[in-house]
Structure 1
Amino acid sequence: MALAQRVRDGAPRWRSAAVVVVAFVALLWGIEVVDTVVGGRLDNGGVRPRSEDGAIGILLAPLLHVGWGHLIANTGPVLVLGFLVLAADLTRGIAVTLVIWLVGGAGTWLIAPDYTIHLGASTLIFGWLVYLILRGVFSLRIGEILLGVVLLVAYGGVLWGVLPGQTGVSWQSHLFGAVGGALAAWWFRGRERANQNAF
């Protein structure tokens, strides 16, 4: 409520976006501290395909990481891409994130192999990246198109991660995170155009 009030009172959108994404990263690091203390037991909360107990991982998996190396690798992209998604419109950015979160988790739960566990914020990273690349295509706003091109050049190589091949990497969560990002870009296209007409 306080954050929403600050946005209404004229706080810069970029500042609110920065606060939210830094708080999210702080949460990820705090969870990893707890996971370290308990010997990695929190990792069992990841997505476990077609297991009823493992379905809770749809909600928890993006918050969990397989050790500090995994979390450190994801921290930079979460800060950059999460900020860019939230900075344009905080409410829409949170809605986009929820779409990616749920589609990424549910898709992984449905198709990943049995007896595996899938976790990590890379589901969000792939979704945010695809959303930002496609957003300009739907909004037809020059700035968003240019941003999408820059991100495609800077991060596009990671999109190969949606394909099978690297042992120990959940290409399923990458793939469905990306699908969630594409769906979000298409779903919110009407609002993008409405915002364009408003200025």
Structure 2
Amino acid sequence: MAVKTHLRFILVICFVLIIIEIINMFTGRMLSGFGLLPRSVNSLPMIFTSPFIHGNWAHLLANLTTLVVMLLLMTTQNQRRMLGISLWIITFTGLCVWLFGRTAMHLGASGVVYGYFGFLLLAGWRSKRKRMMFISIVVAILYGSLLLGILPTGGFVSWESHLFGFISGIIAAWYWAK
């Protein structure tokens, strides 16, 4: 994939997330109903919508910043592999949160961010490619503190999404980074 195509893809993702937040804001947060509520059968399809819905602008911006960096680093994978990894992360994370998460509405792209983080940490060592190893080291240095986010915390942070996202990324790296 050419650099322009990668950047266009990332800009489209950002644009979609921002448009969804604008719609959510102007509809009195009606789209928040597309978040994931664990063990609710009606909420099962929301595994695929919850990463695109955020609680507010601060929540979106907190996720968007890191998501853009992780997406840029993920573009080292070919397009088909990157889409497969992304779908795996969204599905595995969502299912695990649905099965094991607290009974609360889980929203936001942080599970995907943590999935990419886990993938990028392990992919270099698993692939043994110098470029990927360099990316793994840079990610560990710059974003290693994200590991604290997988620990249970109080409040409205879905540490479950962080934990299962990270695990899904590690699993993805194990299988896709050879």
Per the normalisation by structure 1, the TM-score is 0.86
Structure 1 residue runs without a partner (length 5+): 1-6, 191-199
Identify the residue that residue 25 of structure 1 maps to in structure 2.
14
Identify the residue that residue 194 of structure 1 maps to in structure 2.
none
Question: What percentage of residue pairs aligned between the two structures are identical?
Answer: 31
Aligned length: 178
CA distance in 2, matches of 1:187, 1:106: 19
| 1:150 equivalent among 105, 128, 138 | 138
- Classify the secondary structure of the residue corresponding to 1:88: coil
| 1:88 equivalent among 77, 101, 106 | 77
CA RMSD of aligned residues (A): 1.1
Whether contact under 8 Å (1:16, 1:87) holds in the other structure is: no
Identify the residue that residue 193 of structure 1 maps to in structure 2.
none
Residue 169 in structure 1 maps to residue 145 in structure 2: no
CA distance in 2, matches of 1:96, 1:150: 20
Whether contact under 8 Å (1:112, 1:172) holds in the other structure is: yes
CA distance in 2, matches of 1:113, 1:183: 23
Identify the residue that residue 42 of structure 2 maps to in structure 1.
53
Q: CA deviation at 1:15?
A: 2.2
- Classify the secondary structure of the residue corresponding to 2:75: helix
- List aligned pairs for 1:48-127, cutoff 5 A: 48-114=37-103, 116-127=104-115
CA distance in 1, matches of 2:114, 2:21: 21
| 1:15 equivalent among 4, 7, 20 | 4
Structure 2 residue runs without a partner (length 5+): none
Per the normalisation by structure 2, the TM-score is 0.96
CA distance in 2, matches of 1:15, 1:105: 31
Q: CA deviation at 1:60?
A: 0.4
Decide which structure has the larger Cα Rg and report it.
1
CA distance in 1, matches of 2:146, 2:170: 16
CA distance in 2, matches of 1:112, 1:75: 23
Residue 187 in structure 1 maps to residue 175 in structure 2: yes
